[in-house]
Amino acid sequence: MSVSGAAAGVLATAALAALAAACGKSGATETAGSGPGVVSAPSTTAPGAPRPGMVWIPAGVLRAGSAPDEVPRVADAEMPGVDVPMAGFYVDVLPWPDEPGAIATTDVTREDAARLCESKGKRLCTELEWERACKGPEGTRFEYGATYDPRACGAGAPADGAARRPTGERTACKSGFGVRDMHGGAWEWTDSRWARGAPAVLESLLPDGGRAAKAAGGGRELGVVRGGNDTAGELATRCAFARPMAAAERSPAVGFRCCAGPRNEAEVQVAVETGPVFERTPQRGSPSPPLDALGGVACGPPTSPAPCFGTRAWTWRPEPNVELSIQGGCTGKDPNARCAIAVSRTFGDRVQTLAQIDCGCQIPEVVQVAGPDHDIRARGANVHGQYFRQVSFHYGRLDVRPVR
């Protein structure tokens, strides 16, 4: 699918009337010291008798996903910080079998996991219930806080080995609600469907194109797994991170935990937009971000208050739902010309500069580098000759490195 533009269209569908009623009955108020938009019931008392081995998550508002300018972030899989009202529910303290010191049960399909939960009078969690339990009452990025700490949950390890760790041993790996080991061990099934992008392209997200799922009788249905571990620790162990898995597949790295109580019907739906990866574009009508290499000059078109010569512009779409602007030019005259480019992105009326690259005394030229990473390369020159800078974009981070 290829459409113009790169802003992610995101929709959270929910039974809002029922959820608002649930919040209204509880008299929910904003919790002191909580993150923006995070609302918790004034009482965390669970209805009825306590459920052993489970934590009550009170009614409140989940700020789902991650802010568009957060780093790292998966732009085509995460909601952009959308507030979702949620009713209260129970969740297991630990992955199944929910016993401290036990090895998480893995190698189950989503249906197997749901059946085991039902055998205990429970159900699989939805992915947004899972995310709320992970983010806690303050809506933190990681269950243990706002800043990545690989020691807290033993993050950054290969998934298969991590799934065999005994549960409950890392006391710091705990959310503000008291839910434990949501990361660092086995990935966990949810009962949510993967609703990112058009159905026609979903199979391409699976390593084998979905053949294993079809062989197992699961058709093309994709489920959502959360938590777990990965060598990309900071990216994968955020509460907002999710990945697709064919509902009929099994994996030694994927287990589950259970929830209880009425199911929250809100779900994640992310429109995935793409376009040409790299193209020359007309120069913007407004000046580019100020270029430090040009003494703070913002290179605009010839009619702007800050004209430059040799001005050029490109659009770069290194990942789905990500559109970056590249603008550059030169000031001064030979042999003292100074040239540079800026890589930026726009959020509403705010422009964020990701990188500035000094191109020396040569009019900037930028080209796409062949390969799966969609890198670009900028050319510059100084008294010593030509030089190149390769630019990579990965999950919100821009890396500029010399090319020898």
- Give the bridge partners for 278, in sequence order: 316
Question: Where do the structural domains in the chain lie, given as residue ranges?
Answer: 10-270, 278-403
| Helix boundaries (H) for 90-126 | 110-118
CATH architecture of the domain covering 10-270: Alpha-Beta Complex (3.90)
- Distance (Å, whole) CA 119 – CA 153: 29
- Distance (Å, whole) CA 88 – CA 218: 32
pLDDT at 33 (0 to 100):
34
Question: What count of other Cβ atoms lies within 10 Å of the Cβ of residue 397?
Answer: 12
Extract the tokens encoding 276: 């040409």
pLDDT at 179 (0 to 100):
98
Residue 34 identity? S
Residue-wise pLDDT tens for the chain (404 aa)? Answer: 333 333 333 333 333 333 333 333 333 333 333 333 333 333 456 777 789 999 999 999 999 999 999 999 999 999 999 999 999 999 999 999 999 999 999 999 999 999 999 999 999 999 999 999 999 999 999 999 999 999 999 999 999 999 999 999 999 999 999 999 999 999 999 999 998 985 444 454 454 554 544 444 445 789 999 999 999 999 999 999 999 999 999 999 999 999 999 999 999 989 999 999 999 998 655 555 666 666 666 665 555 555 677 788 999 999 999 999 998 888 877 777 888 999 999 988 888 889 999 888 888 899 999 999 999 999 999 878 899 999 999 999 999 999 97
Q: What is the pTM of this model?
A: 0.81
DSSP 335: T
Structure-derived torsion over alpha carbons of residues 9, 10, 15, 21, reported in degrees to the nearest 10 = -110
DSSP string, 254-271: EEE-EEESSPP--EEEE-
